[in-house]
Structure 1
Amino acid sequence: MKDYEDSVAFLGQWGRFQQVVFFLLCSSIFPNGFTFSVVFLTDAPRHHCLVPEVNLTQDWHNASIPIEVVNGNQQLSRCSRFRLDVVRNLSAQGLVPGRDVNLTDLEQEGCVDGWSYSRDVYQSTIVSEFDLVCGEQWKQPFTTTVFLLGVLVGSFFSGQLSDRFGRKPVFFCTMAVQTIFSFFQIFSTSWIVFTILGFISGIGQISNYVSAFVLGNEILTGNVRVLFSSLGVCLGYAFGYMMLPLLAYFFRGWKSLLLAISLPGLLYIPLWWFIPESPRWLLSQGRVEEAENIVRKAAKWNKVDAPLVIFEDYGVHVDETKTNPKEQHNVFNLVKTKNIRNTTFILCLLWLTLSMGYYGLSLNTSRLHANPYISCFLSAAVEVPAYTSSWLALRYFPRRLSVVSTLLVGGLSLYFLQLVPESLSELAVALEMLGKFAMTAGFTLMYAYTAELYPTVLRNTATGTCSAVSKVGSSIAPFLSQLSGDFEYLPYVVMGTLAVVSAFAALFLPETLGRPLPQTIQQMHKRQSLKCPFITRRGHSNPQVLLQSRL
């Protein structure tokens, strides 16, 4: 069977057709950058127990909330107050708090009348809306976890649906799911309703990203494909991510923010008439005529002449298979043979590690700076050089070497964090941003690397499955900060250790630099070489293998 890229080489790599597909698919990723809106939606404003307007002097009203010491700083207690009936009696007697009465001797009670929330940063969040504080504080990270579990489910099933029904319909359907259910969250009457709608929105959130990514990888060729997979879609995501704190700054209520991030999805409806189905996928389904029609339309857009028969070899292949039942490929093909199974397991470990690191550091932005909007922007801005670096790495360096390097840089920078004294807070922020840079670059490399390892019939299933596994890591990330306890840097040690272990495992993956995308599982088998590139079978260094691994 003639290679697809050879069959469509007459189109060129950067004609009008490729430009339209490239920029439209990149722009469709923009709303995916709003993923971290949960940083603002679930943030807890400063709060303390509400003290009702009762017959209290101003002194007793101000002193009715106990003072606590947190991390060396004094602040009002968030979850308790002095018993109101006792305070009222002392106030009626004309006693002065702190002078006539020792406040530490007074009995305390919970926030039986609710809480008072500061509005200096937010007008409202779901925390202040549904009182997700004190005994209900666990719901703050759990809200994010449920959303990311929806992303997990969407990643897993969208890949298989896309391989079965096509890239284009799944892409637009999941985009609609994301837009509609994000909008419906505005009308949530309880935390449970908000969380359920967030779960469904999460199903569409990553699904359209994966579908758009695979669609672009299969339509575009050569260096343009590398540019799209490593820089194009990622910068579209980063641009949306950097716009998020700006929107959150102007829309400080959680309902108005949700409205601002859901409405842009409506702008992508007209793209249905401009973004084509993947010719590669159509060919894998035996729909040669439809694939040729798309390529001929592309030839007109690019003002080049198309051959009389574009996919002649594919036509012969289809004729030969008409008498045989068409084999259906699913997620079980990813573990069917030893070589493919080993590749799948290693990739799942890498995706899990990079996702946990990426989301763990991204959701930790509130600790970087007192202003959450600046913190979020810093976290988003560092992704631009990370994506640029990953594009350069994919273009000029071996995939395996690039992935191993980013994992080691990310892991070691997180280890070094615990060695930084408190007086050098800027250095700690720099190391954390270096870790975020490395995890982001590695995450980007994995999308392209995974797509290059698997054949067309399994590519979206493999990408979706690996993405689903990675969401297990991202679902754990919101609770990582709770591991700190007596050791503040334990979350960083966990993420760093996983990164170093994954770097070693990545050494056993096949190299794909400069090789065409496999079309069939048989072609993937021929490319498997799951052994350390630096060691021969006898365990001695092999300079020739080392040289070949770097070419």
Structure 2
Amino acid sequence: METQDYDVITSFLGDWGPFQRTVFFLLSCSTIPNGYVGLSMVFLADTPSHYCRVPTGNGSGSTLNQSLIPSVAVNGTLTLSRCTRFKWRRDGQVNETEECLQGWEYSKERYISTIVTEWDLVCKEDWKVPFTTSVFFFGVLTGSFVSGQFSDRYGRKKILFITMALQTIFSLLQVISVTWEMFCVLFFFVGLGQISNYVSAFVLGNEIFSKSTRIAYSTLGICVFYSLGYVVLPLFAYFIRDWRMLLLAISLPGILYIPLWWFIPESPRWLLSQGRMHEAEEILRAAARKNGVTPPEVIFNQEESLELMNRNIKKRKHLYTYFDLIRTTNIRNLTILNCLIWMMITIGYFGISLNTSNMSGDPYINCFISAVTEVVAYTAAWVILRYVSRRIALSLPLLLSGSMLLLIQFIPDEYQVLSIILAMTGKFGVTVAFSVVYVYSAELFPTVVRNMGMGAASMSSRIGGIISPYFAYIGTYNKILPYTHGRHNYGNRHFKSVTARNASCYTP
């Protein structure tokens, strides 16, 4: 029984009844926490203004005395040093500088606390801030390796809820972190759970819905709801300025997903592949009752079920390896191009998203605009995928993104609003591309190596995620650098190369 036969056999359910609408909505809702958990580092790890504590006569630290802090030139402007102070002796100040021996005084204007102020992740320790986010993406990379195998073995639904629980539990444990190292280790497992949850929801929905609904689910469903979670993040962060309380507030909603276990079914396709025909029929009959239709007396006969199992056994016997992705020139070019495109799109997407706190203007407003831009972008991706060829749907948004981000370096400092508009237009383009590339890549890879091809591209994407925090990190020193370094080559030379070569992907 091929996938097409399954669609024909289950066509009695219809395409968009109460059953499909319920599952569509609930599975999409399961990705809402994914939208704010990883990107919460924009606020959890933001670095407020800080200066050295200066000693009093008894050698203890005191509040800021600007006369004891040297001035340094930053981009041609004099500002107080964040990492040095004038040396102090009992007989007075001397005109020599030293490190912040008594720690730092942090501005409370925007935050009560962040992990930066909690563990003094500044000056020589500031490398730990982007590394923390990279640890999260290491977890995402690990999860992308194991989620598919576990989902195939134990079922889509079980892995979906186990990984949702994993993400919630380890996020809650992060709240009581006593060291930066502990925070990082827990963040790794949060990342591991997050990607596995998202992939399981993606696969489960695509196996339950008919072909006419899958593109809508992949864009207006899980992608839009992911971005709605992102929209919520700056709202939480604006009213909760302490990092522990903010993390607690965005972790607790994960508990609300427990009741969904009784409303989201297992994939009937997966059950059939495991020979559990009776369970698959029960799910489909329950769906028929909910849709108000009468199912056939026999949905799957024993011969069809055995035929499916035998074909699965034959597929397992004929093992394809990752070597098959580079065996011929055609498939090798396809694999390399997809890996590069996925990596660069991920660097662009997360580089811009994580850099919102470094942009000119209010970080809460910038983050909110960035999140709303995603909602619009995913909606646009749904329309584009319906009416535009895949190659144009991928190339034009990338060209738009690269062009807008390159223009930022030519905008004078006094035109901050224009810089934000260009950055958000770039974010719009790369987000549309992020949505399109999933559909496009799945269609380009041959069926026999599709899972491995998507796995290789996904792995490249995770490597891009690990790198992306460092593009935001250089934004703390120069607000233009993340856009010129992160997108310059991609927006010009690389994009033209990809566009030219994509034509060869269709060569038989």
TM-score by length of 1: 0.82
The structure with more radius of gyration: 1
Question: Is 1:207 aligned with 2:211?
Answer: no
Q: 1:200 to 1:15 in 2, by over 3 A?
A: same
Asked if the contact 1:329–1:458 (Cα under 8 Å) also holds between the matched residues in 2, the reply is no
Other-structure match for 2:151: 162
Q: In the alignment, what sits opposite 1:32?
A: 34
CA separation of 1:418 and 1:241: change in aligned 2, threshold 3 A: same
Specify the alignment match of 1:361 in structure 2.
Answer: 352
Q: Cα gap change, 1:223/1:433 in structure 2, threshold over 3 Å: closer, same or farther?
A: same
Q: Which one of 75, 82, 85 corresponds to residue 79 of structure 2?
A: 75
Q: 1:305 to 1:410 in 2, by over 3 A?
A: same
Q: Indicate if the aligned counterparts of 2:326 and 2:335 stay in contact, CA closer than 8 A.
A: no
Q: Which residue of 1 aligns with 2:307?
A: 317
What is residue 47 of structure 1 aligned with on the other side? Answer: 50
Q: Secondary structure at the match of 2:299?
A: coil
1:23 to 2:25 alignment:
yes
Partners of 1:210 and 1:464 within 8 A in 2: no
Identity of aligned residues (%): 48
- Following TM superposition, by how much is the alpha carbon of 1:308 offset from its aligned partner in structure 2, in angstroms? 2.8
After superposition, residues 131-146 of structure 1 pair within 5 angstroms as 131-146=120-135
* C-alpha separation in 2, matches of 1:129 and 1:177: 25
Note closer, same or farther for the CA distance 1:269–1:323 as it changes in structure 2 (3 Å cut): closer
User: Are 1:413 and 1:432, in contact at CA under 8 Å, matched by a contact in 2?
Assistant: yes
Post-superposition CA distance 1:117-150 (Å, at most 9, x none): 1111000011111011111111111111111111
Give the secondary-structure state (helix, strand or coil) at the position aligned to 1:127.
Answer: helix
Alignment of 1:119-518 (within 5 A): 119-312=108-301, 314-315=304-305, 317-318=307-308, 326-327=316-317, 332=322, 335=325, 338=328, 342-452=333-443, 463-481=454-472, 488-489=480-481, 491-500=483-492, 501-502=494-495, 504-505=497-498
Query: Which of 9, 15, 25 is the equivalent residue of 1:7?
Result: 9
Alpha carbons 1:154, 1:468 under 8 Å: kept: no
Change (3 A) 1:451 1:316: same
Number of residue pairs the alignment of both structures matches: 499
Structure 1 CA distance for aligned equivalents of residues 399 and 217 of structure 2: 25
Q: Aligned equivalents of 2:447 and 2:156: distance in 1?
A: 12
Asked whether the equivalents of residues 87 and 97 of structure 2 are also in contact (C-alpha less than 8 Å), the reply is yes
In structure 2, C-alpha distance between the alignment counterparts of 1:487 and 1:236, rounded to whole Å: 30
Moved more, 236-245 or 223-232: 223-232
State the secondary structure of the residue aligned to 2:15. Answer: coil
Would the aligned equivalents of 1:334 and 1:344 in 2 still touch at CA under 8 Å? no
**Deviation, structure 1 residue 464:** 5.0
Separation of aligned partners in 2, 1:447 and 1:286: 30
Tell me by how many angstroms 1:415 deviates: 2.6
In 2, Cα distance between equivalents of 1:267 and 1:457: 39
Cα 1:455–1:152, aligned 2, differ >3 Å: closer, same or farther? Answer: same
CA distance 1:213–1:193, shift in 2 (3 Å): same
TM superposition shift of 1:322: 9.4
8 Å CA contact retained: 1:44, 1:125: yes
Secondary structure of 1:192 counterpart: helix
- Seen in structure 2, the aligned counterparts of structure 1 residues 107 and 336 have a Cα distance that, compared at 3 Å, is closer
After superposition, the Cα gap between the structure-2 partners of 1:423 and 1:62, relative to the gap in structure 1 and judged at 3 Å, is closer
1-structure distance, mates of 2:396, 2:375: 18
Matches of 1:7 and 1:42 in 2, distance apart? 52
Displacement of 1:279: 2.0
Could you tell me how far apart the structure 2 residues matched to 1:127 and 1:108 are? 24
- Which residue number corresponds to residue 95 of structure 1? none
1:95-126 deviation digits (Å, cap 9, x = unpaired) = xxxxxxxxxx7111111111111111000011
Q: Which amino acid aligns with 1:530?
A: C
Amino acid at match of 2:44: L
CA root-mean-square deviation:
3.0
Write the letter of the residue equivalent to 1:6.
V
Report how far residue 358 of structure 1 moved.
0.2
